[in-house]
């Protein structure tokens, strides 16, 4: 029978193979050694769907600390938005040391693979509450925040100009969900000259008194593992984004995986996770949950390449 003639099979198989490897040629960054994918075929299918729908159907939902910012530079840890303040001259030495003690106690709990999210949550609430109480005692002035950021070692990941620039150029909304400090992270983005109008930030914002002195924190506390609630509790913020059914999600914590839960009618979601620390212990959990895992990758090369492919010629 004709279907049994091998020469028919060969070209068909070749065509399928070429189709399957399309993104390998279009997006060579996906072959970087830092990239791990549980299901390459599925990733390619999602990216192809997003390319077909174009930038008008896309939104980017991202974490900030250790996702848009570098985890380390020249072998030295980079600060989170909290750390920028903790290590600045706006804080007394005693307070800096208390905040460092909190970090060394609670951070290992945050990233402990043997604990469930439910077990971690009370510790995270305790950490954030204690840290924010300490900050409020320091009478920090609003007009000194920019200086603290300028003098810090905070760095956006390599390739940030292309990332922020291409989202702006294609009018793709960038939603930043951060358990860090909103006032500080905005300063980091402004300091790097990329705080474009397509950016919206959900984070812990400071309340200042009439003298511009920090007196409390606004609204519900956001910690690493309740970003999902934040998204669900803010349906108005997502309303105008409901017509963008494709989501590129960037995170570095398991808590970041649910950041897009407030968006309805999602058609395609691609979750990219930065695995910065405790790689061996956490690799399996990350590969099981994120579509693309970037291991000790300090760049935005992969998200940039995917965005470039999606927006190509549009
Ligand atoms: P996020 O990146 O998920 O938004 O979380 C913010 C990070 O901030 C999280 O990894 C813990 C860290 N953090 C500090 O470094 N210092 C602090 O005082 C607190 C409360 C959190
Ligand atoms: Mg983070």
**Residue 17 pLDDT > 60:** no
> What pLDDT, on the 0 to 100 scale, is given for residue 26?
84
**Residue 13 pLDDT > 60:** no
Calculate how far, in angstroms, residue 39's C-alpha sits from the geometric centre of ligand 2: 24
**Residue 4 pLDDT > 90:** no
Distance between first and last Cα of the chain? 46
Calculate how far, in angstroms, residue 82's C-alpha sits from the geometric centre of ligand 1: 6
If one residue of 127, 152, 179 were mutated to test the ligand 1 pocket, choosing by the most ligand atoms within 8 A of its CB, it would be 179
Instruction: Please state the atom number of ligand 1 nearest to the C-alpha of residue 255.
Output: 3
Calculate how far, in angstroms, residue 251's C-alpha sits from the geometric centre of ligand 2: 6
The tens digit of pLDDT for each residue in 114-166 reads 999 999 999 999 999 999 999 999 999 999 999 999 999 999 999 999 999 99
Q: Of residues 24 and 8, which shows the higher confidence score?
A: 24
> For residue 151, what are the CA distances in angstroms to 56, 85, 182?
38, 10, 18
In whole angstroms, give the CA distance from residue 203 to residue 217. Answer: 10
> What pLDDT, on the 0 to 100 scale, is given for residue 31?
94
> What pLDDT, on the 0 to 100 scale, is given for residue 240?
67
Element spanning 146, H or E: helix 145-150
Q: Which of 23-27, 85-89, 206-210, 294-298 has the lowest mean pLDDT?
A: 23-27
Considering only CA atoms, which of 38, 34, 179, 61 is closest in space to residue 121? Answer: 179
How confident is residue 106, by pLDDT bands cut at 50, 70 and 90? very high
For the chain, how long is the longest CA-to-CA vector?
Answer: 88
Whether this model's pTM surpasses 0.95: no
Instruction: Please state the atom number of ligand 1 nearest to the C-alpha of residue 66.
Output: 2
In whole angstroms, give the CA distance from residue 138 to residue 53. Answer: 50
How confident is residue 228, by pLDDT bands cut at 50, 70 and 90? confident
Report which protein residue has its CA nearest ligand 1's atom 9. Answer: 224
If one residue of 61, 64, 65, 153 were mutated to test the ligand 1 pocket, choosing by the most ligand atoms within 8 A of its CB, it would be 65
Q: Are 272 and 301 in contact (CB under 8 A)?
A: no
**Residue 104 pLDDT > 70:** yes
Long-range CB contacts for residues 103-110, cutoff 8 Å, separation at least 24: 110/224, 110/253
The tens digit of pLDDT for each residue in 255-305 reads 999 999 888 889 999 999 999 999 999 999 999 999 999 999 999 999 999
In whole angstroms, give the CA distance from residue 194 to residue 25. Answer: 30
Report which protein residue has its CA nearest ligand 1's atom 2. Answer: 65
Residues noted as catalytic: 63, 65
Q: Are 26 and 47 in contact (CB under 8 A)?
A: no
Q: How far is CA 28 from the centre of its chain?
A: 22
If one residue of 224, 226, 229, 250 were mutated to test the ligand 1 pocket, choosing by the most ligand atoms within 8 A of its CB, it would be 224
Provide residues with CB under 6 Å of ligand 1: 63-66, 80, 82-83, 99, 102-103, 110, 127-128, 131, 178-180, 224, 253, 255
The b-or-e profile of 71-81 (16+ CB within 10 A means b, else e) is: beeeeeebbbb
DSSP secondary structure letter of residue 157: P
238: which 2 tokens? Answer: 């997502």
Task: Give me the torsion for CA of 47, 70, 172, 55, rounded to 10°.
Answer: -20
**Residue 67 pLDDT > 90:** yes
Strand order in the sheet with 268-275: 35-37, 292-295, 268-275, 246-251, 58-62, 174-181, 199-204
If phi over 0 gives left and psi between -120 and 50 gives alpha, with beta otherwise, what is residue 37? beta
141: which 2 tokens? Answer: 């002035």
Bridge partners, residue 36, by sequence: 293
In whole angstroms, give the CA distance from residue 296 to residue 71. Answer: 8
Q: How many residues does the chain have?
A: 314
Element spanning 228, H or E: helix 227-233
Residue 18 neighbours by CB under 8 Å, 6+ apart: none
The closest ligand to the CA of 185 turns out to be 1
DSSP secondary structure letter of residue 33: T
Inter-helix orientation angle 301-311/40-53, to 10°: 50
Report which protein residue has its CA nearest ligand 1's atom 3. Answer: 224
232-259 average pLDDT score: 86
> What pLDDT, on the 0 to 100 scale, is given for residue 241?
73
227-239 average pLDDT score: 74
């Amino acid at each position: 029978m004709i279907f049994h003639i091998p020469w028919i099979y060969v070209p068909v198989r070749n065509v399928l193979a070429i189709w399957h490897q399309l993104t390998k040629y279009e997006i060579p960054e996906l072959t970087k050694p830092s990239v791990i994918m549980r299901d390459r075929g599925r990733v390619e299918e999602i990216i192809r769907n997003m390319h077909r729908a174009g930038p008008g159907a896309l939104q980017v939902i991202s974490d900030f600390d250790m996702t848009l910012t570098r985890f380390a530079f020249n072998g030295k840890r980079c600060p989170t938005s909290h750390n920028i303040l903790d290590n600045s001259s706006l804080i007394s030495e005693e307070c800096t040391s208390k905040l460092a003690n909190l970090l060394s106690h609670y951070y290992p709990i945050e990233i402990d693979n043997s604990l469930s999210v439910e077990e971690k949550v009370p510790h995270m609430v305790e950490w954030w509450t204690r840290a924010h109480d300490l900050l409020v005692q320091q009478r920090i002035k609003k007009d000194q925040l920019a200086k603290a950021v300028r003098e810090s070692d905070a760095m956006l990941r390599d390739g940030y100009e292309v990332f922020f620039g291409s989202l702006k150029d294609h009018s793709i909304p960038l939603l930043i969900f951060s358990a860090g400090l909103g006032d500080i992270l905005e300063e980091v983005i402004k300091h790097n000259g990329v705080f474009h109008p397509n950016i919206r930030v959900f984070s812990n914002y400071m309340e200042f008194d009439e003298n511009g002195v920090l007196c409390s924190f606004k609204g519900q506390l956001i910690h690493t593992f309740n970003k999902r609630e934040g998204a669900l509790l803010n349906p108005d913020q997502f309303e105008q984004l409901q017509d963008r059914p494709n989501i590129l999600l960037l995170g570095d914590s398991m808590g970041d995986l649910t950041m897009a839960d407030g968006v309805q009618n999602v058609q395609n979601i691609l979750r990219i996770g930065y695995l910065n620390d405790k790689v061996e212990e956490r690799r399996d959990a990350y590969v099981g949950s994120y579509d693309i895992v970037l291991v000790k990758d300090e760049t935005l090369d992969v998200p940039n390449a995917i965005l470039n492919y999606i927006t190509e010629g549009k």
